[in-house]
Amino acid sequence: MSFHTLGLSKPIIETVTELGYENPTPVQEKVIPHILKGKDIFATAKTGSGKSAAFLLPLFQHINRERDEDKFLHVKVLILVPTRELARQIYTSAQKYGSKLDVKTQLILGGGNIDPQIQALKLGSEIVVATPGRLNDLLKLKALNLTHVEHLVLDEADTMLDMGFLSELDTIFALLNPKRQNLLFSATHSGRVKFFAEKLLTSPKRIDMDEPGSAAENISQIAYLTDREKKLELLSYLIGIKNYSQVLIFSSTRAEVDEIQQELKSAGLKAEVIHGERTHGARHKALNRFKEGEVRILVATDIAARGLDIPELPCVINFDMPQSKEDYIHRIGRTGRAGKSGEAISLLSVDEDDMFRSIERLIKQKILKENFKGYERELVHVKMDKKYQQEQKKQKVKGAFGKSRSKAAAKSKKTTKRDFRYKSEG
């Protein structure tokens, strides 16, 4: 199928042709005709599937038509997203896709000074891309009017709900034109987002690109079975021997992200970091340095798993497992974008086996697990049954000052969980 057959207008087709897009991606094929017809949409689409163009291109076409009917500059399209990174990315895409149509787009996100945003809004805009918190602040200040919004887009709606934005969203919805088109995109289909969609959407066209929660097939996934205390060394070794042009490393805690950066630095590898404790400006700068190829390595918490668009990123490494299994899909979705192949490596310690199994259940796929020579697991999972506890008692040895300590307790100081023991103990 070509872009022509989707019903898009000439200037839009010219734009995508100039960008080198030969054909629409599957989500674009399915979604664009319905959006052009004015239907509500409830779509689950993979990260990196070309989702932004799928809603932006037809919305530009709507704005162009509505412009002829309405001589004043009003906000016609409101795009709400959970994170600043995603907002920035969609804003950039909107400028790219709307270059031939001279559409005025405004970016609204928290973190920085609110005054420049108030000033910019006074000039008028047709598309607003916003995070819900800052948009609410601006609405309280009466800095913008949303009564003319005819198209509402909620991208990564599931994450917005997970992040607790429901009351902000309700306040915003109450201010919109009730006669409008609603487009809801969600990476996964949790019960909550389904309920939310039922309330918001009118006879929506339901589009499931794949089984909800599926990971892209063009990403090869592998897990190296190792111990937590070996991960830092294994990570720098891996990056060293594989010589990736670029790699994105995820860890779920800020402290660990900083620790990884330090370890890589001592191995002679320069890395930028992104996490919630860094200022907005510092995060933006780090991402840009990575995007521009000034640094090869970016280490990030899951806040960066959403909305980063880094074309041709060859590899993602999960230093640990994310707190929520859905985040695994977001993390690895940073590679293998727009049909290119990618590699996702997970460093898996024994305390993460349960989470890994639930990820496999979610993506309905068994992920290849291997040992990495020299970094194999010594800790193994054991069931804390009666027999094992009795065995432990028998193994009691005299510690310093005559205190009794079990061998296992002495050896497993580094793990906080109780149900692991070293392989050598059988």
Nearer Cβ to ligand AMP (21/422): 21
* The binder of ligand AMP chosen from 9, 14, 21, 133 (CB under 6 A): 21
Token couple for 66: 């509505």
Beta bridge partners of 236: none
Number of Cβ within a 10 Å radius of residue 274: 23
Q: How far is the CB of 51 from ligand AMP (least distance, A)?
A: 4
Q: What track of x and - describes contact with ligand AMP for positions 100 through 129 (by CB under 6 A)?
A: ------------------------------
Nearer Cβ to ligand AMP (121/160): 160
Using CA atoms, how far apart are residues 401 and 83, in angstroms rounded to an integer? 55
Q: How far is the CB of 96 from ligand AMP (least distance, A)?
A: 8
Q: What track of x and - describes contact with ligand AMP for positions 159 through 198 (by CB under 6 A)?
A: ----------------------------------------
- Greatest CA separation for the chain: 89
For residue 232, how far is the Cα from the chain centroid? 24
Nearer Cβ to ligand AMP (229/312): 312
Q: Is 198 exposed, middle or buried (0-12, 13-18, 19+ CB in 10 A)?
A: exposed
Helices and strands, number each (H, E), in the chain? 16, 18
Using CA atoms, how far apart are residues 130 and 339, in angstroms rounded to an integer? 28
Contact 319, 292 (CB under 8 A): no
Residue 52 interacting with ligand AMP (CB under 6 A):
yes
Q: How far is the CB of 285 from ligand AMP (least distance, A)?
A: 21
Stretch that binds ligand AMP, among 44-52, 159-167, 168-176, 399-407 (CB under 6 A): 44-52
Number of Cβ within a 10 Å radius of residue 397: 10
C-alpha separations of 125 from 106, 139, 283 in Å? 6, 15, 27
Residues touching ligand AMP, count (CB under 6 A)? 14
* The binder of ligand AMP chosen from 49, 61, 181, 182 (CB under 6 A): 49
* The binder of ligand AMP chosen from 6, 8, 12, 25 (CB under 6 A): 25
Q: How far is the CB of 306 from ligand AMP (least distance, A)?
A: 11
Q: How far is the CB of 333 from ligand AMP (least distance, A)?
A: 9
Which positions ≥6 away from 182 have C-beta within 8 Å?
Answer: 40, 41, 152, 154, 200, 201, 202, 204
Q: What track of x and - describes contact with ligand AMP for positions 334 through 373 (by CB under 6 A)?
A: ---xx-----------------------------------
* The binder of ligand AMP chosen from 8, 12, 15, 24 (CB under 6 A): 24
Give the angle 287-293-295 at the CA atoms, nearest 5°: 70
Number of Cβ within a 10 Å radius of residue 62: 17
Which positions ≥6 away from 422 have C-beta within 8 Å?
Answer: 378, 379, 380, 408, 411, 412
C-alpha separations of 319 from 12, 229, 251, 275 in Å? 41, 11, 5, 15
* The binder of ligand AMP chosen from 35, 41, 43, 53 (CB under 6 A): 53
Nearer Cβ to ligand AMP (34/74): 34
Residue 275 interacting with ligand AMP (CB under 6 A):
no
Stretch that binds ligand AMP, among 23-31, 129-137, 358-366, 391-399 (CB under 6 A): 23-31
Contact 407, 426 (CB under 8 A): no
Nearer Cβ to ligand AMP (189/407): 189
Q: How far is the CB of 28 from ligand AMP (least distance, A)?
A: 6
Residue 248 interacting with ligand AMP (CB under 6 A):
no
Nearer Cβ to ligand AMP (16/238): 16
Residue 51 interacting with ligand AMP (CB under 6 A):
yes
* The binder of ligand AMP chosen from 116, 178, 191, 311 (CB under 6 A): 311
Which positions ≥6 away from 391 have C-beta within 8 Å?
Answer: none
Instruction: Characterize the bridge pairing of strands 127-130 and 151-154.
Output: unpaired
Stretch that binds ligand AMP, among 46-54, 63-71, 197-205, 263-271 (CB under 6 A): 46-54
The binding site for ligand AMP (CB under 6 A) comprises 21, 24-25, 28, 48-53, 309, 311, 337-338
